[in-house]
Amino acid sequence: MDAFTHRDGRLYAEDVPLARIAEQVGTPVFVYSATSIEAQYDALASALADMKVGICYALKANSNQAVIATLAARGAGADVVSEGELRRALAAGVHPSKIVFAGVGKTAEEMAFALKAGIHQFNLESGPELELLNEVAGRLGLVAPVAIRVNPDVDAKTHAKITTGKKENKFGIEIEQAKSVYARAAALPHIDPVGVAMHIGSQLTDLAPYRAAYRRMADLVKALRAEGHDIRRVDLGGGIGIDYRGDHTVDLAGYAAIVREEIAPLGAEMICEPGRLLVGNAGVLLTSVIYVKQGTAKRFVIVDAAMNDLIRPTLYEAHHDIVMERAGAPESPHPADIVGPICESGDYLAKDRVLPELAPGDLLAVKSAGAYGAVMGSSYNTRLLAPEVLVRGGDFAVVRPRPSYETLIGQDRLPDWLSPTQP
C-alpha cells in the first residue's frame, strides 16, 4: 500500500494532511505510516506462513522505538548490530529470545551485555570473534548460542556499497573455512553452535542471487550435519529490495518459494532479517522550498532538508521520488536539482528532476525515506536532526522531537585553558 496519496489536491499520510504536520512540527520532518509498516510485515509474514520462519526486523533501517514497537506488537523480533540497537530493541519491548546480534566488530562489553540479556543468537563473523565470545561467556558462566555467518560468495547485483556476500567484502566466514570454524565452535565449552547465517546484500530486486546463495548454504548444512553437527537454525539474512520508482514490486511469493525449495527441506528453524522492506516505503521526508534559483545552465530548488537528513542520493546515487504536497500545479519546463543548504556540491536530494513550478514555502515529500533515512542523519553544519512523526489513521505523534540548539551546542565542553569569549 502507498500511505502517501493526494486527496482533494493535498498530500496525506494515511488520514492526516502532511501540511498539518508541517505546520505543527515544522520541516524538515520524517513522517512514517504505522499502517503501511504493519501491511508490509503482514505481507511478508503471510508469504512465509507455511514455514517456520521468525522475522527479526533489522533495526539499522529505522531504529525509532515507535517503529520497533509497532513491529514488535505484530510479532517481530529484532536483528541488532550494536549494544545501542540491542538496548533500543529491549526498551521498545522486543523479548530477548527474539533478538539476534550480528556485525563484524562486536566488543567484549557488547557480548557481555547481550549474554546477560539472554538473546536468541549471536551471528559470528570470524574465528577471533568466536574465541572472544567463548571467553566472555566463560567469565559469566554462560553458554552463547551461535550461528556462524558464512559468506557464500554470490554477487547480489546491487550497489557496490551495499553488497556483502562476495569474498572481497569484510562480512562472514568464507564458505571453504566454515567447516573448520564450525568444528572449533563445537569444541568450545561456552559456545553452543546452533546453526548458520548469511546475508548477501541490501536492496536486492533480482531473486536469483538468493537462490544461488541458499543452495550453497543448504549444501553446507548437509556437509556439516554429515560431520556430526546438529544444525538447528538457518538465518536467511535480509536484503529484499523495495520499489523506489513505482515501476518494480519485489515478488514476496517468489522469495518465499525460494526459501521453501532451497532451505525449508532442511527442517531447521529459520530466521529472516528484513529492514528496508518493512519500513522503506512507509516513510517520507517532508521539506519546504526556501528559494528557487535560476542559473544560466541550471535551475536549483533549495530546500530545508539536506544530505545530513537523507544521505542516500549522494552516497549511493540513490533515486527517491519527490512529489509536491499540492497536486495539480503545472509542470515546470525546467528540470531542477533539489538541493539542501549544506556547503557541499554533493548536497542534493535529486538531480535534473521535472517537478511542478515551485515557489518558496511549497512543501515537497521525498518518498521512500522510511529506511536508512533518519538513522543515517547527522548534525553536519550544526543542523538539527530532523524530527520523526508516526501517523496512524487520523492521528499522529511526534516520536522523536527536533532537538534544541541548546542541546546540540551544549554537548561541547571547553577545556580549562579556554574560557568562553563574550559575545
Q: Smaller CB distance to ligand LLP: residue 33 or 158? A: 158
Of residues 152 through 171, those in contact with ligand LLP by CB under 6 A are 162, 164
Which of 237, 313, 370, 387: binder of ligand LLP (CB under 6 A)? 237
Task: Note whether 172 binds ligand LLP by CB under 6 A.
Answer: no
Q: Could you write out the DSSP letters of every residue in 12-32?
A: EETTEEHHHHHHHH-SSEEEE
Q: Which segment (32-40, 126-134, 206-214, 233-241) binds ligand LLP by CB under 6 A?
A: 233-241
Of residues 297 through 356, those in contact with ligand LLP by CB under 6 A are 312, 316
Q: Smaller CB distance to ligand LLP: residue 19 or 162? A: 162
316 is in an annotated binding site: yes
**CB of 55 closer than 8 Å to CB of 75:** yes
Which residue's beta carbon is nearest to the bound ligand LLP? 275
Task: Note whether 40 binds ligand LLP by CB under 6 A.
Answer: no
Q: Smaller CB distance to ligand LLP: residue 140 or 253? A: 253
239 is in an annotated binding site: yes
Q: Are strands 283-294 and 29-33 parallel, antiparallel or unpaired?
A: antiparallel
Which of 163, 203, 287, 308: binder of ligand LLP (CB under 6 A)? 203
Name the grid cell of 342. 549544506
Q: Smaller CB distance to ligand LLP: residue 285 or 363? A: 285
CA distance linking residue 34 with residue 26, whole number of Å: 20
Q: Smaller CB distance to ligand LLP: residue 342 or 376? A: 376
Q: Residue 42: left if φ>0, alpha if ψ -120 to 50, beta else—which one?
A: alpha
Q: Which segment (32-40, 58-66, 133-141, 350-358) binds ligand LLP by CB under 6 A?
A: 58-66
Helices (H) and strands (E) in the chain, counts: 12, 21
Name the grid cell of 1. 500500500
Q: Which segment (196-204, 255-263, 281-289, 354-362) binds ligand LLP by CB under 6 A?
A: 196-204
Catalytically annotated residue among 160, 226, 297, 343: 343
Of residues 247 through 286, those in contact with ligand LLP by CB under 6 A are 273-277
211 is in an annotated binding site: no
**Triad 223, 182, 275: Cα angle to 5°:** 95
- Catalytic, 343? Answer yes
Name the grid cell of 76. 517481530
216 is in an annotated binding site: no
Which has the closest alpha carbon to 63: 79, 74, 51, 52?
79
- CA-CA distances (angstroms) from residue 199 to 46, 54, 68, 165? 22, 15, 21, 6
Task: Note whether 79 binds ligand LLP by CB under 6 A.
Answer: yes
- CA-CA distances (angstroms) from residue 23 to 29, 54, 288, 324? 11, 40, 11, 16
Q: Smaller CB distance to ligand LLP: residue 12 or 255? A: 255
Which of 34, 92, 102, 324: binder of ligand LLP (CB under 6 A)? 102
344 is in an annotated binding site: yes
Question: Using the 8-state DSSP alphabet, how is residue 351 labeled?
Answer: E
Local structure of 45: helix, strand or coil: helix
Task: Note whether 202 binds ligand LLP by CB under 6 A.
Answer: yes
CA distance linking residue 98 with residue 57, whole number of Å: 10
Name the grid cell of 24. 505543527
Q: Smaller CB distance to ligand LLP: residue 12 or 101? A: 101
Question: For residue 317, what are the contacts with CB-CB under 8 A and spacing of at least 6?
Answer: 159
Question: How many C-beta neighbours within 10 Å does residue 148 have?
Answer: 31
Task: Note whether 374 binds ligand LLP by CB under 6 A.
Answer: no
CA distance linking residue 14 with residue 285, whole number of Å: 15
Chain residues binding ligand LLP by CB under 6 A are 58, 60-61, 79, 102, 162, 164, 199, 202-203, 237-240, 273-277, 312, 316, 372
Residues that constitute the known binding site: 239, 273-276, 312, 316, 344, 372
| Active centre residues (catalytic) | 343
Residues that constitute the known binding site for pyridoxal 5'-phosphate: 239, 273-276, 372
